[in-house]
Structure 1
Amino acid sequence: MILPHAMALPKLGTLQECSDFSKTVMPFLPQLYALPRQILGTVLNGGSFLKLYMETNPFISGLGASIFLGGVFLVAAEVNKNYSQVDRFWSILPTVYVGHFAAWARLAGIPSKRIDAALLFSTIWSTRLTYNYWRKGGYGIGHEDYRWQIVRDMLPKWAFHILNWTFISFIQSVLLYMFASPVYVLLLAIQFEPELSTADIGFTVLELGLILTEFIADHQQWVFQSAKKEYQTTGQVPTGHKQADLDRGFIASGLWAYSRHPNFAAEQSIWLALYQWGCFATNSLYNWTVLSPIMLMSVFQGSTWLTERITAGKYPEYSAYQKKVGTFVPKNLKGYKTPVPKVIRTSDLAKKLQEKEKEESKKQK
């Protein structure tokens, strides 16, 4: 008897083949095209969704879900004229997709300790980032990232709609799924190395360390912004803060003294590390899931450029900060210090005046 899931996974001969796109994804693309019809047939005929789920390649079913959600995000954005629909799910969907691979593996009777390890760090990442987004008011009714309004002002109306129909709704939705794509590679590698290895534990610890770094950076920024808001409201400098720092307008201490965006750096590193985990597990130098970190880094390049353009326009000292502190990677280990204004001593000023008077006297002669 052939189990339903047996036809849903590729037949591979070596560990390295687990990272081969032509063997692990391309043969199953027809399933993606047939999936809407199969779902409709299951609904109309009262079929088993569990059977359909297990008979569909797990990467394909997840990809189909991300495309479907892209359509949902598009409609919601256009109806509400609010373009932060994907933003609300940014911290949630990657873990849902990792959980999808973990659930599929368990239902198929495949050892899942390695995937469970990925699900562990991803769940912690989601919990922390979702909380951070919530406390900033991200889930408030009508809330929209202020940058989307700036982008709307920069583009013609028709161009912004195209941006929403492509990047904002669909591409970002698929990107969130691609975050989890290395877990598919890990799932395939289990048939060759089913046990949790020391390397798997090492990658899990690395991921947790990066999450901790992102937490520290976000918390430092939250504390600073809260203090600045209190200072602007009451005129009193909160305990533990300096007036000069609050007057500067942006945080430049803690991790932010070494990187202008330490939270962004950690966020990108988290998913880059997951990609490297997939490469290591398959003894491959690289694989097709590199698309995930490349897409993510591209998004952060654009987002960071826009954020810094806005910040530099608001705070005069930011340009000096940009020159001394790296965007993501530290330029040095000294840390940023606010430039000290050059003080002209009275004696120096008098000396310059005397020299000027002598020059004028010579000209008159």
Structure 2
Amino acid sequence: MSGIDGGALALVLAASAATALAVMLVAFAVGTARGLHRIVDVAWGIAFAAVAVVAWCLAAGHGDDVRRTAVALATCLWGLRLAVHIARRGRGHGEDPRYARMLSRARGNPTLYALRKVYVLQGALVWLVSLPVQVAVLLPGPLGVTGAAGLAVWAVGLGFEAVGDRQLARFKADPAHRGRIMDRGLWSWTRHPNYFGDFLVWWGLYLTACADWRTALATLVSPLVMSALLIWGSGKRLLEAHMADRPGYAAYRARTSGFLPRPPRRDPVSGS
């Protein structure tokens, strides 16, 4: 596949799976000890960064050094920024309502249920979503136009996500905004600038692995899975269900795009 050494690929895939699982098991131990399973959201970004570092190390001597380092560094920047942001946002708060509801429906031991349904599942998703990174670090050829375009898309996504998170944090920090819906800046163009940023990040990283149709096809599942999670899974869908009864949210939903950025409607009719 595009000149990738089969043995090196097998090693990177196996080591990446072990790394993602190890990070999640450490998070499980910490979350269980503290009684806060929301820590898995911090571990999510850390796990991607850890996988990128391990893949970068194991690909030495196989992949193109520029592509290998650029892809690993891009993944680490995204993952660690996200982890720090979520850790700061969650400081001083109790359990995430999503995990509280999930564990309240658990059959049998809730701790083991959390291990299976929260930590191991997210570890598996980290491995699957990061397939383009695991492949890209092993590609022997230079980035080329497609790879460079991928890094450009990644950069726009990272900036979109970081700016959106910063705007929301500043809005919430003002006591005058308590109970109000954030509808300024990027949040006036899309109800989920952070999720849209993630979307761009992973489609961008996918492009860095598209050396030919074989690598493009082999890794396509990754951005598709991340997109599904962001739009129909644990991202947009669950957050909007949680926000539905907030005062002013229905009007905000009617005038603001549900995902892809666009100018707000002047005469809102219905949300999407």
Normalising by structure 2, we get a TM-score of 0.82
The 8 Å contact of residues 160 and 197 in structure 2, kept in 1 or not, is answered as yes
Matched residues in 2 for 1:320 and 1:97: separation? Answer: 42
Cα displacement string for residues 269-311 of structure 1 (whole angstroms, at most 9, x for unaligned residues) = 21122123312x2244842323322332333323222221221
Partner of 1:6: none
Letter of the aligned partner of 2:152 in structure 1?
V
Which range moves more in the overlay, 160-169 or 180-189? Answer: 160-169
Partner of 2:242: 310
Partner of 2:168: 221
Q: How does 1:1-365 map to 2 (within 5 A)?
A: 15=2, 57-78=11-32, 80-106=34-60, 108=61, 110-138=63-91, 144-153=95-104, 155-158=105-108, 164-190=114-140, 193=141, 195-227=142-174, 230-231=175-176, 246=177, 249-279=180-210, 281-284=211-214, 286-300=216-230, 301-303=232-234, 304-313=236-245, 315-330=246-261, 332-335=262-265
1:317 Cα offset (Å): 1.8
Higher-Rg structure is: 1
The 8 Å contact of residues 21 and 124 in structure 2, kept in 1 or not, is answered as yes
1:170 Cα offset (Å): 0.8
Cα displacement string for residues 66-107 of structure 1 (whole angstroms, at most 9, x for unaligned residues) = 23444444455455443224212122221221111211122x
Q: Where does the alignment leave 5 or more consecutive residues of structure 2 unmatched?
A: none
Aligned residues: 267
Matched residues in 2 for 1:199 and 1:152: separation? Answer: 43
1:207 Cα offset (Å): 1.1
Task: Decide whether aligned partners of structure 1 residues 269 and 162 sit closer, same or farther in structure 2, where only a CA change above 3 A counts.
Answer: farther
Q: Alignment partner of 1:189: what SS?
A: coil
Matched residues in 1 for 2:80 and 2:18: separation? Answer: 25
The 8 Å contact of residues 58 and 104 in structure 1, kept in 2 or not, is answered as yes
Q: Alignment partner of 1:316: what SS?
A: coil
The 8 Å contact of residues 70 and 174 in structure 1, kept in 2 or not, is answered as no
The 8 Å contact of residues 252 and 336 in structure 1, kept in 2 or not, is answered as no
Matched residues in 1 for 2:10 and 2:209: separation? Answer: 22
Cα displacement string for residues 184-206 of structure 1 (whole angstroms, at most 9, x for unaligned residues) = 3223431xx2x343443332222
Letter of the aligned partner of 1:294 in structure 2?
L
Matched residues in 2 for 1:203 and 1:307: separation? Answer: 28
Matched residues in 1 for 2:109 and 2:197: separation? Answer: 32
Matched residues in 1 for 2:266 and 2:98: separation? Answer: 27
The 8 Å contact of residues 151 and 204 in structure 2, kept in 1 or not, is answered as no
Task: Decide whether aligned partners of structure 1 residues 288 and 77 sit closer, same or farther in structure 2, where only a CA change above 3 A counts.
Answer: farther
1:176 Cα offset (Å): 1.8
Q: RMSD across aligned C-alpha pairs, in angstroms?
A: 3.2
Letter of the aligned partner of 1:211 in structure 2?
L
Q: Where does the alignment leave 5 or more consecutive residues of structure 1 unmatched?
A: 1-11, 29-53, 232-245, 340-365
The 8 Å contact of residues 248 and 317 in structure 1, kept in 2 or not, is answered as no
Matched residues in 2 for 1:286 and 1:109: separation? Answer: 19
Q: Alignment partner of 2:190: what SS?
A: coil
Overall identity of the aligned pairs, in %: 21
Matched residues in 2 for 1:120 and 1:101: separation? Answer: 11
Matched residues in 1 for 2:259 and 2:265: separation? Answer: 13
The 8 Å contact of residues 86 and 173 in structure 1, kept in 2 or not, is answered as no
1:57 Cα offset (Å): 1.3
Q: Alignment partner of 2:233: what SS?
A: helix
Matched residues in 1 for 2:226 and 2:74: separation? Answer: 18
Matched residues in 1 for 2:44 and 2:102: separation? Answer: 19
Task: Decide whether aligned partners of structure 1 residues 217 and 337 sit closer, same or farther in structure 2, where only a CA change above 3 A counts.
Answer: farther
The 8 Å contact of residues 258 and 335 in structure 1, kept in 2 or not, is answered as no
